[in-house]
Amino acid sequence: MKGFIKLVITTMILLPLLTLPVLGVDYNKVTLIGHDFSGQDLRDASFDLASLRESDFSHANLTGVRFFSANLEAVNFEGANLTDATLDSARLNDANLKDAILVGAFLSNAKFSGVNIEGADFTDALILPYEQKYLCKIAKGTNPVTGRNTRETLFCP
Tell me whether residue 8 is in a domain.
no
Structural domain including 153 reads 22-157
Residue 156's CATH number: 2.160.20.80
Q: Is residue 49 part of a domain?
A: yes
Q: For the whole model, what pTM was predicted?
A: 0.84
Give the pLDDT confidence of 6-61 residue by residue, as tens digits.
655 555 554 454 444 555 789 999 999 999 999 999 999 999 999 999 999 999 99
What are the contacts of 150-154 at 24+ separation with CB within 8 A? Answer: 150/117, 150/118, 150/119, 150/120, 150/121, 150/122, 153/120, 153/121, 153/122, 153/123, 153/125, 154/122, 154/127
pLDDT, tens digit, for every residue of 76-93? 999 999 999 999 999 999
Query: Is 11 inside a domain boundary?
Result: no
Report how many domains make up the chain: 1
Residue 113 CB-half CA count within 13 A: 5
